[in-house]
Structure 1
Amino acid sequence: MKDLNLLYVFEALWCDRSVTAAAERLGLTQAAISSALKRLRDQEGDKMFTLVSRRMEPTPYASAIAQQLLDALTMIRKTSAEKSVFDPASSRRMFTVRTRDIGEIVNLPPLMEKLQEEAPHIKLRTVFVPMDETLGGLASGRIDFALGFLPSLEAGIHRRKLMQQHYVCVMRKQHPLAESELTLERFREQEHLLVEYSGSGHKVLEKALIEAGARHQIKVRLPQYLSAPHFVISSDLLWCAPAVLAETLATHFALTIKPIPFQLPGFEIGLYWHDRYHRDPANKWLREFIVNVQATRP
């Protein structure tokens, strides 16, 4: 591929599968991306990407050469990384973060507030995909960072700790136990809400409930956090949740937070990125920015 600009366009389309998203990623117009795609097709003698159910999917030929092209671009970035300068004040890049709704609630609003001051044109997009897709996305650049409690992310992945956390028990303020000590016996007698997802480290909660004798007291199971407080405030359900999430939600919902009456291991919320982008100036700037924003939180 003779034109380096076409290589960047190929990467953006490969990562985002969308002309619109690719344009946002590169800070170009959709017309410019479409024009570049036409030149790419003419140069390679292949359609490269075709529209399938509103997604620009790669052709077999594009898929066959994708790894070579992406590796070549990685080598170019590594060669020029120390010479290149990322200007956050003028950048219009869109960064993609893999996180659950807990990360969207707890981590991203303060981050966006600070970004507005120092990098007002940068955009964020969140995705939530299974672990295998997360690893593939980080490796290919479709995902810039993963954020959360993700102990299963290992090979080729860098990590920075953002915060240390523990679990608490959440109930509505009018709960019969709201003004009482939450003993283990009382805990196991109550009905519980459990937010579950096999790809995260929070799977430990279900095991803990079972070991505490509340196996048959799990009344509601949910795949995400944001709906949980709506169940809690309208019932006598107990909900074991990360403390930072409970404290954040308690500013918006009538919730009471109590210690869990047995030992649970603490855990770390981390920021994860792939080794291929470890020296990328934009990636490096934003991850340091995220770490600093988290460090200054009250």
Structure 2
Amino acid sequence: MQDYLAQLADYGKILLRSDGSSLDGIFSTMESSRGEALRSARKALRLTQQQVADKIGVTRAAVGQWENDEPISFPNLKAVCEALGIDVVAAVSGKVVKAYSGAAIASREKAFVKPEIASSTPMDPELYDENYFVKKSLVPVYMMSTIDNFAPNGNALLSEAPVLLAPRHESVPPDNSIYLIAQTNNVMEPIFEPNISFYASSRHTPIVGEYVIAQVSFDRTYAPGKRPTGILLLPVYFGKLEEFTNSSIVISQINPKSHHTVPLNMISALHSVLGPE
């Protein structure tokens, strides 16, 4: 099992440092960000933001925020990509690629599946089933890496959407909210060592003493030419939940030893980590 998880982490490091050249021929048109990819696809179809919003049942303002690289949930990302007829995985990487037909998806999977790792299958008709991942025996895989100067908050970075779908191990509970994190940072070493993957849940309510991931909001105003490209990584705090009050939470990390007090109004999501394998 651990060999399999280590393989995911190694694959994730390749994705994170890739300049996109290894994907030539799969995703052909590079944009500068996920939001600009969505905007380019919408304009190519001559649709207004309101028309896209009406297609998926959200507000025009939400579509505008997504096109400006504001946070977007994975279900909403899938919905807007389906409305625009573009590939979900490509959009996350800032590229506009027409959605594959079923035959093309099968062909692409056959060519690009890593050992024991299944590639994503966007545009599946059953994608919106609330038990989709359990029924398909898959688990979404997110990447976590070290913090950088694009995000002043947090102690780690987490991919905004899954980088791939992996086969669901028999030990994983039948819970659709569970996802796998392949991480390369060391803020919780030695409990969570670099390259050791672990599971988390978006449904389980964390309690004091548990390990958590707190996603935080941040200012996405980048200097000219400094907008990050490729996989969009969001700032998070990863560590042990030490305290929970009406106004903030306190998360501790091990390496280096530190405590982070995070105001609740800064937290966009708080997920429970199921512990290292």
Relative to its length, the structure with more helix (as a share) is: 1
TM-score by length of 1: 0.23
Q: Report 1 or 2 for greater relative contact order, CA contacts < 8 Å, sequence distance ≥ 6.
A: 1
What is the TM-score normalised by the length of structure 2?
A: 0.24
